[in-house]
Chains A and B, each alone.
Chain A
Amino acid sequence: MTPNLRAGARRRPSPVRVALLTLLFAVMTVPVYLLLVNSFKSQQDIQNSPFSLPFARISLDHLAAAVQSPQYNVLQSYGFTLLLVVAVDVLCILFAGPAAYVIARSLKRRTQFLLLFFLAGTFIPASALIVPLIYVLRAIGLGNTVTGLILHDVAMTLPVSIFLFVGFIRTVPRDIDHAAAIDGAGRLRTYWQVIFPLTRPAVITVLILNSIGIWNDFISPQILLSPGSGTYTVTTAIYAGISQYSTDLTKVFPNLLLAVAPVIIFFVYMQRHIISGLTVGALKG
């Protein structure tokens, strides 16, 4: 790097750069700003002056009403969504890890074929799969159950997870497996006690990819759990609530804020990991 050349280019930001970045800032922050300020205003204030923040009249009532709303309660749905995320994450790691290990270490053609078999799953859009899946779940007695939803979500996360794990495990020298075998460890033990800890970066990537995907998923819970079940995820609660009260903005904004807040907090806290994790996921998956 030649510092003087670069520094010269940096010192005076071009007007184009300033304009582009100002525009970016405005376009990306205005929706969040509107979400934030309008969550604390009355319907009249939201309509008459959407951009203002009338300090004298702001109130926590609408947010409190959303928190306490007995129907489609977004705050309550955090719990179920979190349970779903944790269950799917745990099962995915338990299932994908050992399978990926066997695939990564096998020299047999038919085991390698399994990787393609799983990868084919990334071709299938959830919206196309979910209609026939309902009948499959009904046939095996899991129709309209949380178990059925979890198993479907696990199946959706397996292809990319296995692919990322296989890629990562292949970078771990086989000598390590051999050393573990000489010490008397079986394959399963070798995987969980020796290889799994070494694949930590891949595990973190998979956990981030899956958690964001499951938390934000709308199609699967909406269609696999009937509204009558009374079990809502954040997205299905928002859908049920907002399609009912779409004209009452004092319900729309606070509910959206409650739905977005945990994701934004998680993102700000973890953004470095999330961005690199999702980039790896996209470039490899």
Chain B
Amino acid sequence: MVGLAGLSADSVRVAARSPEPDRGTPGRRRRRLREAALSAGMLAPAVVVYTVMTVVPVVVALYLSLTDWNGFSSADFVGLANYARLFDDPDTTRAAVVTVIVALFGSVGMLGLGLVYALQLKERNWANSFFRTLAYYPHVISSLILGFLWSAILGTNGAINNTLADLGLGPVGFLFDENLAVITLVGVIVWAGFGFNVVLFVAGLQTVPRELVEAAQIDGASRRQINRRIVIPMIAPVVTVAMVLNLVGLIKVYDIVVSLTDGGPAGATETIAYVILTRSFAGTDVGFATAQAVGLMVASAALSVVVTALRNRQDRAAAS
């Protein structure tokens, strides 16, 4: 971050204004042609790998989603039948609802806790930096592993239920009660992800001018008034970006579902990504799986477009 800020905007503007080398003589033209070929060569590896590994599969998905292919025998073109099935299929509907619940409540939980702790940890000192790191560390661990760890803690034979049993309290079905399992899933996701929001918000809070807060303090504003009236409105753009980042991240939740609940009990925690990979695709329903995948891509793209629009608006606001 320091490095990014190191080069001033002025130097860029100066560079942009500097005159282009003049062109025209045959030697220069040949040189320019060679440079153009070289530029294409420098772009080529990235463009080729990205196209073959990302763009082509998307096109293939669009095609496969219009067929009834099972992955082995010949495929018949079925038009939009798979897409119609998306809305009829109870598994897909339930998974869509679970995904929306996870994305919505997970996002709200991460934002809320992120904000609460960012306000506590915004000053730069040793203790705050320790607590920020503590809140953040799950972000670098694979969600698959976090899910297995929490499932060993919250399962029927897990640490929490064994301790409750010692106190004479019955087992709590954190992972085995259909409703509670969804809440547990959201809880573990929030636990793993809120620290990232804390870090984002602290970065935002440190840009709030101190003079503003001090002026309000001198005017006799309470800490709470300062937070509500000055600090939170000033970091609103960062909050918006964090919210949409959370949403975009959460609509594709898969790993943690596999390891925490494996979709159970009775499919109560299956998300869309889980259904695509574990059910439709593994169940050799390739045509339908790709229709679900296309649906997820569209939802993800729509959310990402919202991010970009919000961010552009924020950049314009910052520039004005």
Contacts of B123 in A (CB 8 A): 10
B140–A267 touching, CB < 8 Å: yes
B147-165 contact mask (Cβ, 8 Å, vs A): 1 or 0: 0111111000111001100
A10 to B300, CA, bound (A): 44
Cross-chain contact A20 with B120 (CB below 8 angstroms): yes
Q: A158-B46, A173-B15 are in contact. List 13 more A-B contacts (CB 8 A).
A: A2-B214, A20-B116, A99-B45, A99-B46, A114-B47, A127-B273, A136-B56, A172-B7, A175-B14, A191-B42, A216-B141, A218-B143, A259-B145
**Contacting pair A238 B144 (CB below 8 A):** yes
B254: which A residues are within 8 A, CB to CB? 127, 218-219
* Least distance between B97 CB and chain A CB atoms (Å): 18
Interface centre among B43, B50, B191, B293 (most CB of A within 10 A): B50
Contact A121 B301, beta carbon cutoff 8 Å? no
Task: Kindly state whether residue B53 has any CB partner on chain A within 8 Å.
Answer: yes
A280 touches B46 (CB 8 A): no
| Residues of B in contact with A (beta carbons under 8 Å apart) | 1-4, 7, 11-12, 14-16, 18, 21, 35, 38-39, 41-43, 45-47, 49-50, 52-54, 56-58, 60-61, 64, 116-117, 120, 123, 131-145, 148-153, 157-159, 162-163, 191, 195-196, 199-200, 203, 210, 214, 217, 223, 241, 245, 251-252, 254-255, 258-259, 262, 273, 276-277, 281, 286, 289-290, 292-294, 296-297, 300-301, 304
Selected from B21, B47, B142, B152, the residue in CB contact (under 8 A) with A178 is B21
Which chain A residues in 193-212 approach chain B with CB under 8 Å?
Answer: 200-202, 212
| 8 closest residue pairs by CB, A with B | A201-B3, A155-B53, A50-B159, A216-B142, A98-B42, A128-B293, A125-B252, A99-B46
Within 8 A of B (CB), among A118-156: 118, 120-133, 135-136, 140, 151-152, 154-156
Interface pair A129/B200, CB less than 8 Å apart: no
Interface size on A, residues (CB 8 A): 109
A219 and B255 in contact, given A118-B50, A264-B137 (Cβ under 8 angstroms)? yes
Least CB distance, A49 to chain B, in whole angstroms: 8
Asked if A129 and B38 sit within 8 Å, CB to CB, the answer is: no
Q: Is A102 touching B140 in the complex (CB atoms < 8 A)? A: no
B153 close to A171 (CB less than 8 A): no
Q: Which of B39, B47, B157, B191 contacts A47 (CB 8 A)?
A: B157
B276 to chain A, nearest CB (A): 6
Given A34-B159, A132-B58, A178-B18, answer yes or no on A216-B149 (Cβ-Cβ < 8 Å).
no
CB distance from A268 to the nearest CB of B (A): 8
A200: nearest chain-B partner, CB-CB: B3
A80 contacts partner chain B, Cβ-Cβ < 8 Å: no
CA distance A125 to B277 in the complex (A): 12
Distance in angstroms from B9 CB to nearest chain A CB is 8
Interchain residue pairs with CB less than 8 A apart (11)? A5-B217, A25-B134, A28-B134, A98-B45, A98-B46, A99-B47, A124-B58, A124-B297, A131-B277, A135-B57, A238-B148
Number of A-B contacts (CB under 8 A): 276
- Do A48 and B162 touch (CB < 8 A)? yes
In the bound complex, do residue B199 and residue A279 qualify as a contact, i.e. CB atoms below 8 Å apart?
Answer: yes
> Given A125-B273, A280-B1, A131 and B293 touching (CB < 8 A)?
yes
Tell me which residues across on chain A come within 8 A of B41, comparing CB atoms: 188
Which partner residue on chain B sits nearest A170 by CB separation?
B12
Please, which residues of chain B bring their CB within 8 A of the CB of A122? 304
| List of B residues within 8 angstroms of A173 by Cβ | 7, 11-12, 14-15
Structural contact, B294 and A128, CB atoms closer than 8 A: yes
Quick check: B15 and A175 within 8 Å, CB to CB? yes
- Asked if residues B38 and A187 are in contact (CB atoms below 8 Å), the reply is yes
A27, B203: Cα distance in complex, Å: 23
**Are A212 and B140 CB-contacts (below 8 A) given A99-B42, A171-B4, A282-B200?**
yes
Answer yes or no: A72 CB below 8 A from chain B CBs.
no
Q: Which residues of B have CB within 8 Å of A170? A: 12
The residue in B7, B142, B153 that gathers the most chain A C-beta atoms within 10 A of its C-beta is B142
A201 touches B38 (CB 8 A): no
Known: A122-B304, A174-B18, A218-B144. A102 touches B43 (CB 8 A): yes
A278 at the interface (CB under 8 A from B): yes
Cα distance A276–B151 in the bound complex, in angstroms: 31
A155 to B49, CA, bound (A): 6
Instruction: Choose from B1, B139, B223 the contact partner of A276 (Cβ within 8 Å).
Output: B1
A212–chain B nearest beta-carbon distance, Å:
5
Question: How far, in angstroms, from A125 to B70 measured CA to CA in the complex?
Answer: 22
Contacts of A95 in B (CB 8 A): 45-46, 49
Give A246 to B254 CA distance when docked, in angstroms: 19
